[in-house]
Chains A and B, each alone.
Chain A
Amino acid sequence: MKVSYRWLATFFPAGAFDDLPAEELGRRLTAQGLAVDDVRPAFPTFEGVVLGRVIEAGPHPNADRLTLCSVEAGDGARQVVCGAPNVEVGAIYGYATVGSRLPGDRQIRRAKIRGVESLGMLCSAPELGLDALGGAEGIWPIAGARESDLGRDLRDVLGLDDAILEIDVTSNRGDALSHLGIARELQWIVGSDLSLPVVELEERGEPASARADVEIEDAEGCPRYFGRIIERIVVGTSPAWLQTRLVAVGQRPVSDVVDVTNHAMLELGQPLHPFDFERIAGGRIVVRRAKEGERFVTLDGRERALEPDITMICDSEKPVAVGGVMGGLDSEVGPGTTTVFLESAHFDPTRISRAVRRLGLPSEASTRFARGVDPELPELALDRAAAMIAALTGGTVAPGRVGDDRRAGSGRSRIELRSTRYEALIGVPVAPAEARAALEALGFGVEGGEGTLTVSVPSWRFDVCREADVIEEVARLEGYEIVPAIPLPTPPVAPAIEARPRFLERLSEAARASGFDEACTPSFVGQDALGKGSPIDNLVEIRNPISKADRFLRPFIATTLARAIGHNRKRGAERVKLFEIGHAFAVQGGEVVETERIGLAASGARFPAHWSRPDPEEYDFWDLKGDVEDVLAIVAGLSPRFLTGVRPWLHPGRQAEVEGPGGEAMGVCGEVHPAVAREWGIDERLFVAELDLSGLGTPADRGRVAEWSREPAVERDLALVVPTGDAAAGILAAVQEAGLEDLARVRVFDRYAGPQVPAGHYSLGLRLTFEADRTLTDEEVDEQVKRLLDRLREERNYEIR
């Protein structure tokens, strides 16, 4: 929120800010909990520009487009040549005298223009850097300037020497969204009490109650509603000082009536709404819930569907405004309005924020109501604005407010503040007198003393509900800087080294050791996450996604990693290996299941490029499987099993389900189906693996270390001829199951399919290594090999090549 330093000063006696320049004020507010992000001048600097009236104007003798003006600035007429087409005799303008300096380091000198002397210049708003205040076309007449202003410095007349504080008001402090709210915070800093603006209200004519009445039906949504009638008005533009105030804090001037309501909101915090009274049928205001299916055209010209938890302001026939949110097009105040009905009401924050969400209509007013406005503010704000409207538009205020008040009780709570509790929470005591002074400066009522203070909360501090809140009020005014730093108590037992974080750290190390760079990919994917046309039943859908396309949570980290691989391959990376440890999501049995996973993805060369290998080998399935085995072996000492897989998004012949030693599903690895990879923008072969980590993390107990043989080992190579459908894993298992006493290891050393073996078969070369505690003889080993071959022939019909 933008706050004007000058405007704040109006709440305090003259001179109260003398020792508090804007920057210092900002620092103090920040230290008190109202973070001031920025302090800057409200307007560009210029000097020597005074108010001057054009008393005569005539053509320039030597130029058609120029005007010869006589300008009176309080000390005699001066001749000024003006190039603007809109010079008006009698109007008052900003007059840059000889020697003045304008923004952009422009200096005004005595000059001859087309042979005629010109003493200074009449200014346009852009020339003064005040585009927001005046039009861009021609010179800028100063609205509301008077004869007595002639010769006065324009900066003083408009109040341009001001600083703007940009304050980041936290969401609990709805009360601080106004100059009054900030001024209340300043009482402690300034050391004097603020005074509320003086309302000079002159009531005349027929009482308002004779022509209008108000009835609240929806007391929950709007407990308090007041209005005043201001009549015989002529809607026009606001005087320059008011426009300046509004522009300084970022508000666009509209018309005097609207500007005054905005002014009251920015000054006091109470949003107001002006209606054209002639459009209020029957002069009657009814505050009720919207009806089911009801529709309404708001100020912005859009028709909106309403719902019963939206509060509507209605006349005797129809809705005229969405309460606290936005007015209606029909009852808007326009140039032809002669009588205004000014609304000042209190709306329920929860109901307002719901309405804003339903209608998608945030506004300055609804933002304030949603955060909460002082429920006791409506009357003051109403009177203040009515008086200003009357003064600016020449209208009169009808005697009396009309209204309805359905608020139950004053709602002011009383809270006990124990000094022991203060010290327990803050770590340092506070003197009761000090606490009392701080609370009173914020407008709290304080009774008692010694150990306990009884505090009554002012109506605008609805955020203060319990003792801790009061403690914070005192502590922040005392300043957090004075809180000492006390070392934490040492826990009796140092925290255990957590198994899980340590496991994840090791997992990351293992993946990096295998050449994978760690990535951090999005959690969101599209419905084509696993290829176009893949079923989405098991994807977890987001109700309000950032982008419609990516409206699911990733079912596999590998899919988002794959996109990152594609990104890098497209940018010329020849070898990309990425991994990520993170969460993936699926719907299983109707429930959302979230698992912690590691995803691996690789594409391109097997090794980093090297000049000795001009044609690098490509990463392939065996590399992937090896990487998976390496990672699992390093972190968990696990030897997983690989089973033929059938996932449609992977290559039908190059994928495996990964199982733990106990047969538990652990994940998947494989080459991505080329059609799917192409959808992801990757034309090269792409490999992915993903492992569920939930079952991992506690290292498997693998018993004691085994003794090993000191005798020479004996090796035998076999080439088995086996049917193509028999998987290697099964054959190796069969060899183990044969139970040869001295067989230590089996290794596949060759695989061959071709003319040397019968059709429909392949040859699998196995190297058997025998070891024992004694020297093995050839006979012993041969006997064991024979036993194995007999068994394989008998049970599986395998032959030897």
Chain B
Amino acid sequence: MTESLRERLEQLRREVERELETANGPARVEEIRVRTLGKKGALTAEAKAIGALPPAERPEAGELVNAIKDALEAAIAAREADLAGSELSRRLEAEALDVTLPARRRGQGTRHPLSIVTADLLDVFRRMGFSVASGPEVETPWHNFEALNIPAGHPAREEMDTIYLAGRDLLLRTHTSPVQIRVMESREPPVRVVCPGRVFRSDTPDASHSPYFHQIEGLWVEEGISLAHLKWALVEFVHQFFGPDVDTRFRPSYFPFTEPSGELDMQCLLCRGGGCRTCKGTGWLELLGCGMVHPAVLEAVGWDSERYTGFAWGMGVERVAMLKYGVPDIRMFFENDVRFLRQFEGR
């Protein structure tokens, strides 16, 4: 009896194993499982038949059936896993992308070159101990001229090409220097400020002129400050901003609100001093105007010009940006063409 059972079970196993081998999908495997191990399955029937056997034979028969059941379950599970695996790889294969296609970007905005340059310039001066101050664009003639030692009728005032408001004694500041006055009016010495901002001149726009442009002004007033400090600060600035190898040239000039006055030239960045079109063959580029604060300016805000001395300087942001990025026409900064603006991504 046991022998014939063993034979039947072995045969069942061989059949099922053969069928599993050719099963081509999970559905077929399931069908085999139900037919074999289900409630009405072949093996289940054998298991049920054990109860009808004489008691002495039952344990051995039970063992036999369980062993086959374990073997078949394992075979079915293995086949299932097999089939599932290839199913997944087929799916993954189908999901493959051409990763060289363009990405979907969220489109973050870019910074305007004038902002970049302003921030970089301010950073250098912050490290020297300056802090940032600002003031209004609409100014009084007092702040823009008189307090800066530019009385009415002064030739420098005529040359400024000032834009005035209609019907009011107000103007659009022609330089950021009035911020110096506002800072000194509102504080006690010492002051150490840099003042960025938009300024205005009645200039017809062309490649190097715009009726509105931007300046950065600096002012350092305290006891014991001399032209030698000014020279150090500005040469240091050039070296930090443009590079330690850039030569500078410091020469006398004239501004009504500084005395002595000077201009700082730096070696042309394009030709490195050899002479080219950008520097008109001189090898030098005018960078900024500067000088020792005129005693009349300190007196205008009620400071003791014998006790306090200081220096001031101012420079055009557009000019620096044009040099730094090789922008040939100042109007490009204000055209706001995104094909220009987006070139400053990440700069």
A residues adjacent to B (C-beta < 8 A): 30-33, 35, 37-38, 170-174, 349-350, 353-354, 357, 370-372, 423-428, 466, 468-469, 471-472, 475-476, 480-481, 483-491, 494-496, 498, 500-501, 505, 508, 511-524, 540-546, 551, 553, 564, 567-568, 571, 573, 575-579, 582-583, 585, 592, 594, 607-608, 610-612
In the complex with contacts A517-B110, A541-B167, A370-B137 CB distance below 8 A? no
Residues of chain B within 8 A of A425, CB atoms compared = 226-227, 260, 292, 309
Query: How close is A221's CB to chain B, nearest CB, in angstroms?
Result: 13
Asked if B232 and A468 sit within 8 Å, CB to CB, the answer is no
Kindly state the separation between the CA atoms of A594 and B173 in the bound complex, as whole angstroms.
Answer: 13
Within 8 A of A (CB), among B203-257: 203-205, 211-212, 220, 222, 224-229, 231-233, 235-236, 249-254, 256
Chain A residue with Cβ nearest B233: A488
Contact of B111 among A512, A571, A576 (CB under 8 A): A512
Asked if A424 and B226 sit within 8 Å, CB to CB, the answer is yes
B124 at interface (Cβ–Cβ under 8 A)?
Answer: no
7 additional A-B pairs beyond A522-B212, A546-B203, beta carbons within 8 Å, are A370-B158, A426-B227, A475-B252, A480-B227, A487-B236, A518-B112, A576-B338
Asked if B260 and A546 sit within 8 Å, CB to CB, the answer is no
Contact of A424 among B158, B166, B309 (CB under 8 A): B309
In the complex with contacts A349-B153, A511-B109, A607-B107, A488-B128 CB distance below 8 A? yes
Query: How close is A510's CB to chain B, nearest CB, in angstroms?
Result: 10
Asked if B226 and A38 sit within 8 Å, CB to CB, the answer is no
B314 at interface (Cβ–Cβ under 8 A)?
Answer: no
Can you name 5 A-B pairs with beta carbons within 8 Å? Answer: A426-B260, A514-B109, A523-B172, A540-B165, A543-B163
Residues of chain A within 8 A of B235, CB atoms compared = 485
In the complex with contacts A171-B156, A466-B295, A577-B109 CB distance below 8 A? yes
Stretch binding the partner chain, chosen from B5-13, B72-80, B97-105: B97-105
Asked if A483 and B341 sit within 8 Å, CB to CB, the answer is no
Query: How close is B240's CB to chain A, nearest CB, in angstroms?
Result: 13
In the complex with contacts A353-B158, A427-B227, A512-B254 CB distance below 8 A? no
Within 8 A of A (CB), among B289-339: 292, 294-295, 309, 333-339
Asked if B336 and A172 sit within 8 Å, CB to CB, the answer is no
The 10 A-B residue pairs whose C-beta atoms are closest, nearest first, are A427-B228, A33-B252, A427-B226, A170-B254, A472-B260, A350-B153, A512-B109, A476-B252, A495-B131, A564-B336
Q: Is the interface of A mostly helix, strand, loop or mixed?
A: mixed
Asked if B129 and A494 sit within 8 Å, CB to CB, the answer is yes
Kindly state the separation between the CA atoms of A573 and B340 in the bound complex, as whole angstroms.
Answer: 12
Chain A residue with Cβ nearest B342: A517
Kindly state the separation between the CA atoms of A583 and B170 in the bound complex, as whole angstroms.
Answer: 16
In the complex with contacts A512-B108, A516-B109, A472-B336 CB distance below 8 A? no
In the complex with contacts A427-B227, A520-B114, A592-B138, A568-B336 CB distance below 8 A? yes
Asked if A468 and B336 sit within 8 Å, CB to CB, the answer is no
Residues of chain B within 8 A of A582, CB atoms compared = 198
Residues of chain B within 8 A of A496, CB atoms compared = 131
Asked if A505 and B119 sit within 8 Å, CB to CB, the answer is yes
B122 at interface (Cβ–Cβ under 8 A)?
Answer: yes
Contact of B260 among A37, A475, A511, A518 (CB under 8 A): A475
Residues of chain B within 8 A of A611, CB atoms compared = 101-102
Contact of B337 among A567, A610, A612 (CB under 8 A): A567
Kindly state the separation between the CA atoms of A491 and B191 in the bound complex, as whole angstroms.
Answer: 10
Contact of A370 among B106, B155, B170, B254 (CB under 8 A): B155
Contact of B253 among A170, A370, A485 (CB under 8 A): A170
Query: How close is B51's CB to chain A, nearest CB, in angstroms?
Result: 50
Query: How close is A429's CB to chain B, nearest CB, in angstroms?
Result: 11
Q: Is the interface of B mostly helix, strand, loop or mixed?
A: mixed
Residues of chain B within 8 A of A517, CB atoms compared = 109-110, 112, 338, 341-342
Within 8 A of A (CB), among B119-138: 119, 122, 126, 128-132, 134, 136-138
Chain B residue with Cβ nearest A370: B155
Asked if A488 and B232 sit within 8 Å, CB to CB, the answer is yes
Query: How close is A549's CB to chain B, nearest CB, in angstroms?
Result: 13
Residues of chain A within 8 A of B126, CB atoms compared = 495
Chain B residue with Cβ nearest A463: B254
B24 at interface (Cβ–Cβ under 8 A)?
Answer: no
Residues of chain B within 8 A of A487, CB atoms compared = 229, 232, 236
Residues of chain A within 8 A of B132, CB atoms compared = 498, 500-501
Kindly state the separation between the CA atoms of A299 and B54 in the bound complex, as whole angstroms.
Answer: 146
Chain A residue with Cβ nearest B220: A488
In the complex with contacts A171-B254, A480-B250, A517-B338, A543-B110 CB distance below 8 A? no
In the complex with contacts A512-B111, A519-B112, A592-B170, A498-B295 CB distance below 8 A? no
Within 8 A of A (CB), among B192-206: 192, 198, 200, 202-205
Residues of chain B within 8 A of A37, CB atoms compared = 280, 282
Residues of chain B within 8 A of A521, CB atoms compared = 334, 336
Asked if A33 and B254 sit within 8 Å, CB to CB, the answer is yes
Residues of chain B within 8 A of A426, CB atoms compared = 226-228, 260
Residues of chain B within 8 A of A466, CB atoms compared = 295
Residues of chain A within 8 A of B212, CB atoms compared = 522-524
B261 at interface (Cβ–Cβ under 8 A)?
Answer: yes
B262 at interface (Cβ–Cβ under 8 A)?
Answer: yes
Query: How close is A614's CB to chain B, nearest CB, in angstroms?
Result: 13
Kindly state the separation between the CA atoms of A490 and B192 in the bound complex, as whole angstroms.
Answer: 11
Asked if A583 and B109 sit within 8 Å, CB to CB, the answer is no
Asked if A520 and B130 sit within 8 Å, CB to CB, the answer is no
